[in-house]
Structure 1
Amino acid sequence: MNADRSLRELMSLKGRVALVTGGAGHIGRSIGHALAELGADIAVIDISSSGSADAAAELSRQWKVAAAGFDCDLEQAEVVRDLPRRVRERFGRIDIIVNCAAFVGTSGLEGWAVPFEQQADATWRRALEVNLTAPFVLVQAAAGDLRASGHGSIINISSIYGLAGPDWRLYEGTDLGNPAAYAASKGGLIQATRWLATTLAPQVRVNAIAPGGVFRDTPEPFLGRYVARTPLGRMAREEDFKGAVAYLASDLSAYVTGQCLTVDGGWTVW
């Protein structure tokens, strides 16, 4: 019987290709760095071709891996469906998919981060298209690649608002919003994770991460209220999600599928 692999061997992603949607954004960029540091080549997907190219160049320069940017409008199903072909032509394989791109609570959309009565059904549909439909279409199109990998792993980036309802006391007297479509799409992504986990098993593992609120010049009084409600006493930083991604993408979690790992400083334990 062979000796167990070391932790270093289990976490290595050398020879694997990771596709990261929203890869030029705040969390997506951090995820790309985590995967590249472990040796993965990275396909950076973003709606902006210049943004994805810049993020890819940064990864190549810092971690000496192959990285390339791909522009993709996730509201266009046919474009999303063609994305695995484009990545395969560049890298030859796809082993890991991280569905990180999303309309978030601060997105500048009409009828989005406004009171419930003013939230637009057209914007609701756009949010579900990007946050929930695009991951479905992408995984469906890349299922063959992931099955062939031998290490296929999908990580869906959800949210605490896919797990819990909003505490509106945090928002009183602020310009911040919490759209219904965001919560519905992120909750749907967690259930899609469970569905895909049983459907793509045993060749492909499917898990989710539910991040808590991330500090980005977050204004008062929201910041103080949020921190007071969080057991670890602060908002998240992008690097807080690196460990969770490294775990779920690699063979460290080879016997883990269908799970949602909440990385929220304890926000949802109350």
Structure 2
Amino acid sequence: MRNIKELVDLTGRTAMITGGAGHIGQAFCDALAEAGADIAVLDMDADRVEDTAVRVAEEWSVRTLGLTLDLADEATLVTMPGEVAEALGSLDILINCAAFVGTSKLTGWGVPLEEQSVATWRAALETNLTAPFALTQAAIPFLRRTGHGSVVNIGSTYGVVGPDMSLYDDTKMGNPAAYGASKGGLIQLTRYLATVLAPDIRVNAISPGGVARGQDPKFVERYVARTPMGRMATEEDMKGALLFLASDLSAYVTGQNLMVDGGWTAW
């Protein structure tokens, strides 16, 4: 029987993280690299991708690869698993972390339902749901050959429960339908893939609660009041859940959605 250090050890494995240069994505890169994995960082911002890849390599003494990619570019997207496996020797772990959160120039996102646009809805589903499907599909042969392939999709509490719109009163924030719908779809895709790809590849999800990132103080106060743990999440709160699902600590776990929400959905 292996000990805990052996179960969590990712030495010799390679992880690919979409959205790897973002806030949560960088925390994931650090967690996996600290456990010994080589890291492929995929994101849209070339400078942030390169900075993240260089920092992670220097800090954790692992090999890294930075790849700039728009997840809506399917033709390029599906080549990424092969490119990562060729450059770093394998592809053992896929983290679908990138998400459309309305930071583009598209309109009709964080506005009342009647004003939400179909174009932005489609863009959100393309990034949050279609891209993870296409990328996972392309990664199957590489994940399968490792003997311990693991896919972790990053969902959201709003893929599980509906929003309380009163949290957003008198703020510039919103909660668009496309975000919750795409994340709910991703969680269901997780279950589908888990049953279809077993026993060779495990597929699980993490659904974070709200992460503190300088939101309107009125929103934060209301959110915290509704959270049993009495605070919003930090990026660090996600690292343990990710490492559990990516490593052999969870070798008999598949098809699950781990809520990392401070108890938000337990009420």
TM-score by length of 2: 0.98
Displacement of 1:161: 0.2
Contact 1:193–1:208 under 8 Å retained in 2: yes
The match for 1:146 is 143
Aligned partner of 1:195 in structure 2 is: 192
Q: Which residue number in structure 1 is paired with residue 119 of structure 2? A: 122
1:95 alignment partner AA: D
| Structure 1 position 18 matched with structure 2 position 15 | yes
| AA partner of residue 163 (structure 1) | V
Q: Are positions 1:238 and 2:239 aligned together?
A: no
How many correspondences in the alignment? Answer: 267
1:229 is matched with 226
Which residue number in structure 2 is paired with residue 44 of structure 1?
A: 41
Paired residue secondary structure (1:221): helix
- Name 2:87's counterpart in structure 1: 90
CA–CA separation in structure 2 for the residues paired with 1:175 and 1:107: 16
1:161 aligns with 2:158: yes
Q: Structure 1, residues 164-187: CA drift from partner, whole Å, max 9, x if none?
A: 000011011111010100000000
In 1, the alpha carbon distance for the partners of 2:173 and 2:103 equals 7
1:198 partner amino acid: T
Query: What 5-or-longer segments of structure 1 have no aligned partner?
Result: none
8 A contact 1:230–1:266 mirrored in 2: yes
Q: Using the alignment, how far apart are the partners of 2:61 and 2:51 within structure 1?
A: 15
* Cross-structure match for 1:110: 107
> Do structure 1's residue 61 and structure 2's residue 53 form an aligned pair?
no
CA distance in 2, matches of 1:140, 1:72: 17
RMSD, aligned α-carbons:
1.0
SS of aligned partner of 1:114: coil
Write the distance in 2 (CA, Å) between the matches of 1:48 and 1:255: 36
Give distance in 2, aligned partners of 1:29 and 1:108. Answer: 24
SS state of the match for residue 90, structure 2? coil
Unpaired runs of 5+ residues, structure 2, are none
Alignment CA distance shift 1:167-1:107 (3 Å): farther
- SS in structure 1 of the partner of residue 67 of structure 2: strand
Match of 1:248 in 2: 245
2:260 pairs with 1:260: no
Which residue number corresponds to residue 79 of structure 1? 76
TM-score for both structures, normalised by structure 1: 0.97
Partner of 2:134: 137
Counterpart code for 1:263:
V
Change beyond 3 A, Cα 1:20–1:268: same
Q: Please tell me whether residue 186 in structure 1 is matched to residue 202 in structure 2.
A: no
